[in-house]
Chains A and B, each alone.
Chain A
């Protein structure tokens, strides 16, 4: 079973619909035990780092998510990627899960450059995926995909053992996004 972690960080309908579109059954849960027994774990997230980390603590999900990220096929999406890192600048500085080394920063304010970045941008200079974000993860040892925006080259995909995470939304990135979900389901 694929468990989608529901920690009150945004809407999970799109993620569920996308897995349904590739014939994968998912269950949405905020039960740590269900995450521990799941075969694969999806860690989505839309919103702010501070409140999301607070939700994970209140719901007692921190350890279950950390263990899952280290031991089983694990897919982080958007904010669900960002809070895998050590720390985010968001909300006055937020300590995150520390599964991946590195910092999450806000895009610089540059005249004529809009923040949030909203839209389709290339990963590694190739296919475009759909991004919506104001913060980005710095490049690090596990970066496997980079994207450029606001003069910054940031991490748009990471891979560490069985963990993969994307800054963009594979569930909203057309057939190329579905390809990534298929890869996750069959890994």
Chain B
């Protein structure tokens, strides 16, 4: 049976992993490669790296870091943040990342999804989206871009459907309202999107306990969940989360 994936997310700024609440108050929590190895050995099913400052500062992705991670871990990982072109995607993939995640770029230039899928295969192209609660759009959620700074007026569910049609192989639903709060995933928008598209959906933003992860995977129909602060802080381990999944009757990879 296909297991539900637990994906630690590492926000990288100037070569260090940081964690903040809603992109504010970032604190240094470690070396990306060391943390990647530790999480891989701790049972992570996949990893994701976001160069959170790349886009705002118009700075390219740190390819050396991607290569170092690819040499160090034997599980898949995705890289996002600061991807500005097909050439950027190619650099990240050639450096050893399985997947590249586009977010603001895809909103501005949706054809990057289809072009990326045609060039590298749709399994390589992850659409990241940052929906925020909104009364302006039919689903009640609106897409934001540029690290939540700008609202777009685009309906989150419509955008997910369109991105999947264009060739996104996976969609990460990162709730702006929940991100960094550790108060639980935004289940409603996660479920709306998981039920609307036929590609895997990853819940992101707000994980604070194994029970939150169970809720996203069971009640909100997500295929995978991104976790950050709850494991970075040492409060929980990936094993804790996997055990909670098993207890809840969700398929989890328990041997690694």
Query: Interface of A with B (CB < 8 Å)?
Result: 10-11, 13-14, 17-18, 20-21, 46-48, 109, 112, 114-122, 127-128, 130-133, 148-149, 169, 171-178
Contacts and interface: CB of A to CB of B under 8 A. Distances in A.
* Most chain A beta-carbon contacts within 10 A, residue among B1, B2, B93, B98: B2
A11 B96 contact: yes
B153 interface: no
Given A11-B93, A13-B96, A17-B71, A117 B2 contact: yes
A118 B120 CA distance: 16
Contacts of A17: 70-71, 96
A65 B45 CA distance: 33
Nearest to B119: A47
B98 A14 contact: yes
Contact of B121 (A47, A175, A178): A47
Nearest to A181: B74
A128 B199 contact: no
Q: A121, A128, A177: which has the most chain B beta carbons within 10 Å? A: A128
A178 B74 contact: yes
B122 interface: yes
20 contacts: A11-B120, A13-B70, A13-B94, A13-B95, A14-B96, A14-B98, A20-B71, A114-B201, A116-B199, A118-B170, A118-B223, A119-B3, A119-B4, A120-B5, A121-B3, A122-B1, A130-B75, A169-B76, A171-B74, A172-B76
Contacts of A169: 76
Contacts of A47: 120-121
Contacts of A149: 2
A19 to B, nearest CB: 11
A83 to B, nearest CB: 14
B223 A148 contact: no
B147 interface: no
B169 interface: yes
Nearest to B96: A13
Contacts of A109: 198
Nearest to A129: B253
B110 interface: no
Nearest to A150: B2
Contacts of A128: 3, 253, 255
Interface in B102-123: 120-123
A58 B176 CA distance: 48
Contacts of B1: 121-122, 148
B224 interface: yes
Most buried by A among B93, B122, B198: B198
A171 to B, nearest CB: 7
B74 A119 contact: no
A78 to B, nearest CB: 10
B122 A173 contact: no
B169 A116 contact: yes
B93 to A, nearest CB: 5
What 9 A-B pairs come out closest when comparing CB atoms? A13-B96, A132-B123, A120-B253, A121-B2, A114-B200, A128-B253, A120-B3, A47-B121, A172-B76
